Every structure is written in structure tokens, then in C-alpha cells.
């Protein structure tokens, strides 16, 4: 049977994690599988009413035996046969960004209607599954948790002992990435903070106020980001909300200890291989960072457990789970 994987049209500058994950999935799919996968990229950007309508109509013409929407273009489900369609939802974070009629419109067009119009939904974490149920009243047994795949760019590299200030890597500058609390938590520590993401004036002011030694960059390739992980002593990712939390796994794959949050999807992704802290408490964040920097045995334990934890998110394992789900759809046609 043929499975069409529907991709959004990517922008020249943006986040390519969805594309990277599913490209890796296609490459890892069993060669003897009864399912043949084909990538279908939308001709239209997900922007405004008419481009999205055209994208739906285009998807209708491209339907196949089984259809799988890979994410961020949920509305394509409205143009595909419900009994043959799977929708992957990576997060519902946009529901926290809007209020009033805009939030209501997004809820219907991006969640409720697409979810109703699919055979199965896959969520990348249990936290995302619970948010889908919360916003759509979708039956729990219609949603399967299948995680995101780690990019093959991120491979183990031994830690190089540092005689100067240890580098703490922080990924992302959106509100949920918690940079402001991280800055306050790190104030006075003999470290260098490397920030990936565009900094706004208040964040720059806060860095100056707390005299943080920092560098920053943005729009990095996977190879460049991999080099930053290699240079870091630990990764600080105590976000306040994540659909998944890929930097946790990227850090673990490279062999770097992680401080992350004890809420949302992050405990699921991290397993027992990270230092969990309260992201709303700067003292908790600081204590986690200090413990990893000061305790070599604990640091090495997290690294070893991290390398074991990432096996749950290997391309072969995730491909196996999707193949099983495709078989469920095929059995009911």
C-alpha cells in the first residue's frame, strides 16, 4: 500500500525539525514493509485563508491508500478521506498565545475539525495527547503517542575538560523557553552562557543587568548546533511549556548533561537521565546547574543514562511504531 506523507511548505528561514524528523523516518522504514512511503510537499505556505483553502484542495487531489499529515498543516485533513488519514500533532502551544475570537477560530480550524476528520491522531508526547483531549474532547483511544526522531546529526562526543568557564547552552528565546529566569538563576556563577535564538531588548538589558558573560547566535544549521553541543558543559532547558523538547535528546545524544523542567512533556522525554527542576523557581534552576557542575559522579551518571534514554527515540523504533499504526488503518479499510 502507498502512504503519502504530507509536509508543509517550508519557509526559507524557519524551523525544520518536522521535516528533518520525517525525512529520517522515511529513510529508516523497513525495506520489506508492505507500505511504500512518498513525500508530498504543499505548494502553498500556511498563511492566510485562501492559500490554506488551495492547500486543502491540492491535498484532496493527492490522496492515497493511507494519508499521513506530518504536522503544522493540520487543516489538510479537511481535504482527505477520514478513514484513511492520520494526523501528527506536535504541540498545542498556539492555544496559549491567543485570546477571544482568534483563539476560538484556531481551536476549530487547527484542532477540533481536523481531529474529527482523521482515523487516528499521533501526539509526540503524553503531555501533547492530554492537551489534544482537553481542547477537542477526542477519545483517548484515537490518539497514539509516537515520539519525534532525533536527527542523525547529533552523535556522541566525549566532554573536553575545560580550564576556563564552563559553557551552558540555552536553546530558544520565545517566552516559554524561560530565558529570563535562567539569566537570574545564573547570576554570579562563573560560567559562560551561549544562547541560540534572537534576543529582544528586555532580554539584552537583563543580561547586562546581571553581568552575564554570554554569546548568542540564531538560524544555525544542524551541524553548527551540533558543534555548540560539543563545546557545552551542560544544556539548560527548563522550559515552561513544550510539546516535546528535542534539545533534551540532542544534548543526551551528544553526551551532555541536561537541566530540564519537571512539568509538561519534559519528564517523559528526559526519562531518568536529566536533572529535573521547577522552571518557575530560579533557586531550583540554580541548584540544578550547580549540582551538575560540582558533582562529577552525578554528571557522568546523567550522561550514561542519557545515552541509554535516546534509544527510545531511534529512527528504527519510531518507524516500527508508525508501520504498526499504518497496518491498523489498512486493516479497517
What rounded mean pLDDT belongs to the chain?
A: 94
- Angstrom distance (rounded) from CA 86 to CA 326: 9
Interval 206-217 mean pLDDT: 97
| Axis-axis angle for helices 179-186, 282-294 (nearest 10) | 60
E strands in 49-95? 66-69, 85-89
Tell me: pLDDT of 43 over 90: yes
The answer to whether 42 and 73 have CB atoms below 8 angstroms apart is: yes
Per-residue pLDDT band at 5 (split at 50, 70, 90) = very high
Q: What angle do CA 299, 303, 306 make, to 5 degrees?
A: 135
**Does 333 or 15 have the greater pLDDT score?**
333
Q: For the ranges 107-121, 156-170, 231-245, which has the lowest average pLDDT?
A: 156-170
Please give the Cα distance from 191 to 256 (Å, whole number): 16
Give the model confidence (pLDDT) of 117-174 as tens digits: 999 999 999 999 999 999 999 999 999 999 999 888 899 999 877 667 999 999 999 9
| Least confident interval from 47-56, 160-169, 273-282, 310-319 | 160-169
For the residues 212-225, what does the mean pLDDT come to?
92
Residue 35: pLDDT above 80? yes
Fold match, 2-149+314-331 / 167-313: yes
* pLDDT band at residue 13 under the 50/70/90 scheme: low
Look at the domain 2-149+314-331 and name its fold.
Rossmann fold (3.40.50)
Looking at residue 32, its pLDDT comes to 95
* C-alpha cell at position 292: 551538575
Q: Which pTM was predicted?
A: 0.87
- Asked whether residue 94 carries a pLDDT value surpassing 80, the answer given is yes
Residues 6 or more apart whose CB falls under 8 angstroms from that of 90 comprise: 18, 71, 72, 124, 128, 148, 243, 244
Cell 506536535: give the residue: 90
Q: Is the pLDDT of residue 15 over 90?
A: no
Please answer whether residues 242 and 126 qualify as being in contact, where contact means their C-beta atoms are separated by less than 8 angstroms. no
Residue-wise pLDDT for 303-327, tens only, equals: 999 999 999 999 999 999 999 999 9
Specify the pLDDT at position 185. 98
Q: What is the residue whose three cell numbers read 524528523?
A: 21
Percent of the chain with pLDDT over 90: 87
- Find out if CATH 2.30.30.180 is the number for domain 167-313: no
28 pLDDT above the threshold of 90: yes
Query: Quick one: pLDDT at residue 143?
Result: 98
Domains of the chain: which residue ranges? 2-149+314-331, 167-313
Residue that is written with C-alpha cell 546581571 in the block: 210
Instruction: Give residue 96's pLDDT.
Output: 84
Amino acid at each position: 500500500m502507498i502512504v503519502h506523507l504530507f509536509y508543509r511548505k517550508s519557509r526559507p528561514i524557519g524551523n525544520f525539525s518536522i521535516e528533518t524528523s520525517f525525512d529520517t523516518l522515511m529513510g529508516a522504514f523497513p525495506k520489506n514493509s508492505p507500505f511504500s512511503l512518498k513525500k508530498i510537499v504543499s505548494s502553498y505556505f500556511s498563511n492566510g485563508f485562501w492559500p490554506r483553502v488551495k492547500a486543502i484542495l491540492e491535498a484532496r487531489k493527492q490522496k492515497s491508500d493511507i494519508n499521513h499529515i506530518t504536522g503544522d498543516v493540520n487543516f489538510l485533513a479537511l481535504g482527505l478521506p477520514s478513514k484513511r488519514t492520520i494526523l501528527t500533532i506536535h504541540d498545542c502551544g498556539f492555544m496559549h498565545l491567543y485570546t477571544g475570537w482568534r483563539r476560538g477560530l484556531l481551536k476549530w480550524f487547527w484542532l477540533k475539525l481536523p481531529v474529527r476528520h482523521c482515523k487516528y491522531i499521533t501526539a509526540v508526547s503524553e503531555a501533547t495527547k492530554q492537551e489534544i483531549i482537553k481542547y477537542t474532547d477526542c477519545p483517548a483511544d484515537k490518539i497514539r503517542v509516537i515520539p519525534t526522531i532525533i536527527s542523525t546529526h547529533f552523535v556522541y562526543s566525549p566532554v573536553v575538560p575545560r580550564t576556563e568557564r564552563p559553557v551552558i547552552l540555552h536553546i530558544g528565546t520565545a517566552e516559554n523557553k524561560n530565558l529570563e529566569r535562567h539569566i537570574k538563576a545564573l547570576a554570579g556563577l562563573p560560567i559562560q552562557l551561549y544562547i541560540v535564538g534572537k534576543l529582544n531588548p528586555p532580554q539584552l538589558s537583563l543580561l547586562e543587568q546581571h553581568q552575564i558573560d554570554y554569546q548568542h547566535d540564531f538560524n544555525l544549521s544542524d551541524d553548527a548546533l551540533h558543534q555548540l553541543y560539543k563545546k557545552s558543559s551542560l544544556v539548560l532547558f527548563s522550559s515552561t511549556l513544550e510539546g516535546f523538547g528535542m534539545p533534551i535528546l540532542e544534548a543526551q545524544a551528544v553526551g551532555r548533561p541536561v537541566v530540564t523542567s519537571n512539568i509538561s512533556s519534559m519528564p517523559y522525554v528526559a526519562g531518568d537521565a536529566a536533572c529535573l527542576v521547577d522552571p518557575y523557581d530560579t533557586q531550583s534552576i540554580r541548584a540544578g546547574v550547580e549540582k551538575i557542575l560540582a558533582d562529577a559522579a552525578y554528571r557522568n551518571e546523567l550522561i550514561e543514562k542519557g545515552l541509554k534514554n535516546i534509544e527510545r527515540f531511534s529512527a528504527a523504533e519510531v518507524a516500527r511504531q508508525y508501520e504498526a499504526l499504518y497496518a491498523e488503518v489498512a486493516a479497517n479499510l
